[in-house]
Homo-oligomer: A and B are copies of this chain.
Amino acid sequence: MAEFSIDRFVDRYAARTSGMSASEVRALFAVASRPEVISFAGGMPFVDGVPREEVATVAAEVLREHGATALQYGAGQGQLALRERLTMLMATEGLGADPDDVVVTTGAQQALDLLGKIFIDPGDTIAVEAPTYVGALGAFGAYQPRYLHVEVDQDGMLVEHLEEALFRGERPKFVYTVPNFGNPSGVTMTLDRRQRLVALCREIGIPIVEDNPYGLLRFDGDPLPCLKTLDPDNVIYLGTVSKTFSPGVRVGWALGEPSVAQRLMLAKEAADLCGSNLTMLMTERWFADDARWRGVLAGLVDTYRARRIAMAEAIAEHFPADAACTDPHGGFYLWVTLPPWFDTKAMLAAAVERRVAYVPGTAFYADGRGANQMRLAFCLPTEDRIREGIARLGALLADEEHLYRSIHG
């Protein structure tokens, strides 16, 4: 599957495909997946922290005990027992939920696609953070929206910027946010901003889509209430087991009021009929053992905390003094802003040549911003590899800076 060069159907594709393109960084990421490259690019969880033998036992058990269900088609909404289990998982974050209002999806990513499908007409405005999750731009993008970017600072979305935009007459179909340890920013929305955001959106009648993949991966500080807890009616909540258990089971979910859940279920059935009964049964059983999943999660949190500390320390040592870096209290990502003349996309090839990779900042905006920014994922490499990779990246930044100074005096 090489390229688009011989494109038999080029005049037949839908208009929406003009926004779907194989990015130039894709080829570089193929190189970056080689073992000698230390990759801070992908947000791959540390699955070695999940005991495989126990997962193998769970898989064999559900096939032996519920094989006729596991191997068969299932309901579009997902199994009731799993939906009940997921409400217990949400309760861990203080969020009350009715299993009837849960729709199980192929990771939370599919919930983004289905939300785009049921809400977005071409040309509709969607409010997203700046920077925002690249996968949300990809999912929503298929439905041809226009984006309203709302900036974030260390306290999360600048709600007053959204307020100003609404005052100017902007009316987004919904507001999309990752309030906990945002992807890519790593920042967390403060309680005060959460309250202002839900009050504002409720007043104007704009639904909020709260995407919370990382909420249980907190290293420091106390959990904050979900937006959905602050306003159960007006918030559509997305969760996933990809970060607390495994992305290999492809289990995420959306929690919305009945009319939203009903439409998501119909859209889910049209999109792929149903999820995998086998991996749903496995996920239900995994989380049925409270001590097990909490123990595994605690181990993952310890690992991510140590890696995040290693990365922050290495950045302090190796990056230019004028590089700014967010201070995440959980999740997978650090977000780095370099002096404005840096071009992280142009620099990526040189980085991969030096056997280190990251995601250029422009991927996280719909409007071309972010050229001097980068996302660094600390979730997968070991601490030693993190220190070595950041040293490699720091040396590249120093060389780039030296080159820039030598040209621009």
Contacts and interface: CB of A to CB of B under 8 A. Distances in A.
Interface of A: 1-4, 6-10, 12-17, 20-22, 42, 44-45, 47-48, 50, 52-53, 55-57, 59-60, 63-64, 67-74, 77, 100-101, 105-107, 109-110, 113, 117-121, 124, 135, 138-139, 141-143, 173-174, 207, 233-234, 242, 246-250, 257-263, 265-267, 269-279
A270 B141 contact: yes
B14 A272 contact: no
Contact of A110 (B12, B101, B271): B271
Contact of A14 (B44, B50, B117): B117
A121 B11 CA distance: 12
A9 B207 contact: yes
A138 B117 CA distance: 13
B118 A13 contact: yes
A2 to B, nearest CB: 6
11 contacts: A2-B258, A8-B260, A12-B174, A15-B121, A22-B266, A56-B63, A73-B247, A109-B272, A110-B271, A247-B273, A250-B275
A110 B109 CA distance: 14
B59 A47 contact: no
A1 B258 contact: yes
Nearest to A100: B1
A120 to B, nearest CB: 6
B272 A233 contact: no
Contacts of A16: 117-118, 121
A1 B101 contact: yes
Contact of A72 (B57, B67, B69, B248): B248
Contacts of A8: 207, 233-234, 257, 259-260
Contacts of A242: 73
**How many copies of this kind of chain does the complex include?**
2
A4 B272 contact: no
A14 B101 CA distance: 20
A395 to B, nearest CB: 30
Given A9-B207, A44-B73, A259-B7, A142 B267 contact: yes
A77 B14 contact: no
B52 A173 contact: no
Nearest to A74: B248
Contacts of A113: 270-272
A56 B60 contact: yes
A70 B260 CA distance: 32
Contact of A55 (B67, B73, B257): B67
Given A44-B72, A63-B52, A249 B270 contact: no
B20 A267 contact: yes
Contact of A12 (B135, B207, B271): B207
B48 A68 contact: yes
A8 B142 CA distance: 25
Given A8-B260, A59-B63, 16 more contacts: A4-B259, A13-B119, A20-B263, A47-B67, A47-B71, A52-B63, A52-B67, A52-B70, A55-B71, A59-B59, A71-B246, A73-B248, A106-B271, A106-B272, A248-B276, A250-B276
Given A15-B121, A60-B59, A173-B12, A250 B272 contact: yes
A9 B256 CA distance: 11
Contacts of A272: 105-107, 109-110, 113, 250
Which of A44, A101, A259 has most B Cβ within 10 Å? Answer: A259
B273 A276 contact: no
